Amino acid sequence: MKWKRDWGLTMRIWLTMFLLFLVYLVFIAVLAYLGLGLPFLIGIVFVLAFVQYFFSDKLVLWSTRARVVAPDEYPELHRMVERLAGEAGIPKPRVAVMQSPVPNAFATGRSPKHAVVAVTDSILRLLSPRELEAVLAHELSHVKNRDVLTLTLASFLAMLAALIMNNFIFAAMFSRERDSPWIIAGIVAIIVYFVSQLLILALSRYREFAADRGSAYITRSPRDLITALQKISNKMDYVPPQAKQQVETANAFFIIPALSGRTLMELFSTHPPLEKRIANLEKVELELRGY
């Protein structure tokens, strides 16, 4: 089955990127007008983005305590990933396993040649082989779509806004001038940061829809991903809150976020609601059947 593009989804992704570009353009213009040390600030953010981009796989594996495993340790898992990567037309990524009662999976890495696909040991026990393949195909779609690169670029100036926000706090505390450039820039940075975060979250949700579609085309079975998502979501209700809290920093990468009920991530989610994801997959299912 040929990989088909959802033009409506694609247009929403590009519209979000365009709005981010406009927000950042205005932000840079305000900073330049105020005469702040813009090159120095951008230099700091560039270093942060460089680390995030080139070491994202190592950072995520370290934060989740996921371990890269050899083919002789998990032969069936490696065979699945290799076959699905071939279907997706990308090199086989490294495979990692994370010890956690939270059933989940994620992918990271700056490009298909430097990617890692990871699963928790609990998801290996929860899902059937076909459902697990659907989940792995979802993660491989993130790799194929270069979503780490997309979100790194999207968040570049959001990091700059966050940096200026921190300086704004110190400027507000110690400056006696009400019209200090840092105070004005700080107010603008707060607005830019929250607007950009909303747009980045929307972009992240669109990328999840795209990865769901990619999984359906790779496996040719959207129904397997639907049942997998339902199983993971239902099981999440029985996972202890402490276990969810331990992995919340990686929620943006997971196929379904592990929310403990004590976090604002429930209000500002990186993922679409499960019902919308299922509805999207059901449309793809009809499409694959020729309706």
Q: Which residues are catalytic?
A: 139
Residues 6+ apart with CB under 8 A from 267: none
Across 243-277, b (16+ Cβ under 10 Å) vs e yields ebebbbebbbbbbbbbbbeeeebeeebbbbeeeeb
| The residue to which tokens 């202890």 are assigned | 240
Distance of CA 290 to the CA centre of its chain: 31
- Asked if 222 and 282 touch (Cβ cutoff 8 Å), the reply is yes
What is the C-alpha separation between 184 and 169, in angstroms, rounded? Answer: 11
What are the helix (H) ranges across the chain?
A: 7-34, 38-54, 56-64, 75-88, 121-126, 129-144, 147-154, 156-174, 181-219, 222-236, 241-247, 274-288
- Asked if 168 and 183 touch (Cβ cutoff 8 Å), the reply is yes
- Asked if 140 and 117 touch (Cβ cutoff 8 Å), the reply is yes
Q: What backbone torsions phi and psi does residue 208 show, to the nearest 5 degrees?
A: -70, -40
What is the C-alpha separation between 159 and 89, in angstroms, rounded? Answer: 33
- Asked if 272 and 205 touch (Cβ cutoff 8 Å), the reply is yes
What is the C-alpha separation between 105 and 281, in angstroms, rounded? Answer: 19
- Asked if 244 and 260 touch (Cβ cutoff 8 Å), the reply is yes
